[in-house]
Structure 1
Amino acid sequence: MSFITFDNKRIAVFGLANKKSVAFFIARELIASGAEVIHVVRSEERKKTAHKLFPQCSVFICDVEDEENIIRVRDEIREELDGKLLHGIVHSIAFANYSEGFKPFHQTRKDDFLQAVNISCFSFISIANHFKDLLHSDASVVTISISTTTMAAENYGYMAPIKAALDSSLCFLAKSFSAFSNIRFNAVAPGLLKTSASAGIPGYIDSYLYAEKAILRKKAISTQEAADAAVFLLSDRASAITAQTIVVDGGMAVNYFDKEIVGKAVG
């Protein structure tokens, strides 16, 4: 018997964009482990992509920026489930609109920041709230964060503080839901990954190559590795883990004074 199985379990995955997405790797692994996956994507174009990648899965559209869309897709999925429940939700959604390009953090535009908070953080809270009656009492809800929210990477702009808010929301959601269920809330926080979203960050390639040097094994984190951690947290094997952010960075956070890096910096 496999250590992790999802037989007769249903998981809703929010955020698939393409085959490089963290959501793609999570969904693929869930299906391989026996789960029924329901995709929720942002647009009609992404719905077509989801159908091509996962022809066996139901796909729904929801732009989470408008909370009414979350309520609508909840009702659509409820009808699809026909009395059945979800055993998990994956929130793999983030968005930042640098409308005037990258600027020093103190020059962050209020409307850009609040839009990013709404889509990247509040949507997680809103999905949990509106889907609570569709969740099994032992369900698991997992979001995707970042490996550190206190490293001031200039090219990441204001997204680290927003991810910090996302991380903080875990304990409050876990506490709130504990009043009526055993539903768990956790985050996977990977180091730098090769995704389509990251490709749009100026200077990201240099940061990615630096991360490879700082990781203990001198090899970057794969998207599959991040997905594997998410699948574990969604499984019954993680039943005692809640309100946690699981860092998947290959030990990078303990290795900033790697002698090779220091040697090149001061040599």
Structure 2
Amino acid sequence: MSFNPRSVSLEGRCGLVTGIANDQSIAWGCAKAFRSLGAELAVTYLNEKTRSYVEPLGREIGVGMTLPLDLGIEGQLEAAFDEIGTKWGRLDFVLHSIAFAPREDLHGRVVDCSKDGFLKAMEISCWSFIRMAKLAEPLMRDGGTLFTMTYYGSQMVVEHYNLMGPVKAALESATRYLAAELGPQGIRVHAISPGPLQTRAASGIAEFDELLDKAQSKAPTRSLVSIDDVGAAVAFLATDAAKLITGETLYIDGGYHIID
């Protein structure tokens, strides 16, 4: 069978992108790539401060909907999906790029983390992805793709990553289970694992600059990943060209994860 260029198009597709904070966000790199392949987008903002960054970015690429989403506010996630269902009546892909752990728990040893801090990190960083999958399922009548963001610290002990390591490991496991359960409906599920990036979320990790230097010096490509590198790979996985790829944790890190 010959290659069909339309298989790498997202024309006529609708997607939700969460987690944009500013123009350095991984979610922003993904949003740009989705739009470049022709997708219609809804994006979310956390609060009024973030809205002042997200709305202009959305206008820049012609986003169709900009919705509030604070996972700490009961019912706001459901309201976002209701709005999408009312306006579009369908959904083809969802990007979950949201993670959180209380600073005092993130900066301490895992063994010292509080119960409340652990549960909050799991709720915001992992359970919310499962909940998004549940809400997206009835809108993905023709199949679709769900994405979440993880990191190498889920598999290996990365200094200063601390509590987020076990949380991201749970997220990757959830990805596999969701892929198995939703696959019969044509819904694919992926965890995306970029190399270290200088984002607002990363600023919460102690000594992050040293982590960047180590990644650049040890990665086989000797280069750091950009938000646009991540976006290009994620957008491809949302297309029909990747319709038989699911349940993966995809590393976009210049090969860093293969090096001891």
Common fold by TM > 0.5: yes
> What amino acid is the match of 1:27?
A
1: CA distance, partners of 2:8 / 2:153: 28
User: Aligned residue for 1:157?
Assistant: 162
User: Aligned residue for 1:261?
Assistant: none
Shift of 1:101: 6.6
User: Aligned residue for 1:69?
Assistant: 76
Q: Is residue 34 of structure 2 the alignment partner of residue 27 of structure 1? A: no
Q: Which secondary structure state, in structure 1, belongs to the residue aligned with residue 191 of structure 2?
A: strand
Q: Is residue 95 of structure 2 the alignment partner of residue 95 of structure 1? A: no
User: Aligned residue for 1:236?
Assistant: 240
Q: Which secondary structure state, in structure 2, belongs to the residue aligned with residue 178 of structure 1?
A: helix
Q: Which secondary structure state, in structure 1, belongs to the residue aligned with residue 92 of structure 2?
A: strand
> What amino acid is the match of 2:67?
F
- Show CA shifts across 1:213-255 (max 9, x none): 1101211122221222211111111100111111112121233
Q: Structure 1 75/109 Cα, relative in aligned 2: closer, same or farther at 3 Å?
A: same
Of 110, 131, 134, the residue aligned with 2:115 is 110
Q: Which secondary structure state, in structure 2, belongs to the residue aligned with residue 156 of structure 1?
A: coil
User: Aligned residue for 1:174?
Assistant: 179
Partners of 2:153 and 2:161 within 8 A in 1: no
2: CA distance, partners of 1:213 / 1:139: 37
> What amino acid is the match of 1:133?
P
> What amino acid is the match of 1:74?
F
Percent identical pairs in the alignment equals 29
User: Aligned residue for 2:208?
Assistant: 204
Shift of 1:148: 4.2
1: CA distance, partners of 2:69 / 2:223: 36
1: CA distance, partners of 2:22 / 2:152: 22
Q: Structure 1 36/75 Cα, relative in aligned 2: closer, same or farther at 3 Å?
A: same
> What amino acid is the match of 2:214?
Y
Q: Which secondary structure state, in structure 1, belongs to the residue aligned with residue 148 of structure 2?
A: strand
Shift of 1:151: 2.0
Q: How many residues align?
A: 253
> What amino acid is the match of 2:111?
H
RMSD (CA atoms): 1.7
Moved more, 148-157 or 117-126: 148-157
User: Aligned residue for 2:85?
Assistant: 78
1: CA distance, partners of 2:108 / 2:143: 44
**TM-score, structure 2 as length reference:** 0.91
Q: Structure 1 66/165 Cα, relative in aligned 2: closer, same or farther at 3 Å?
A: farther
Gaps of 5+ in 2: none
2: CA distance, partners of 1:120 / 1:102: 17
Shift of 1:14: 1.0
Q: Is residue 133 of structure 2 the alignment partner of residue 128 of structure 1? A: yes
Pick the structure with greater CA Rg. 1
Q: Which secondary structure state, in structure 1, belongs to the residue aligned with residue 43 of structure 2?
A: strand
Moved more, 92-101 or 203-212: 92-101
2: CA distance, partners of 1:34 / 1:76: 21
**TM-score, structure 1 as length reference:** 0.89
- Show CA shifts across 1:23-59 (max 9, x none): 1010011111111111022223323322101112210
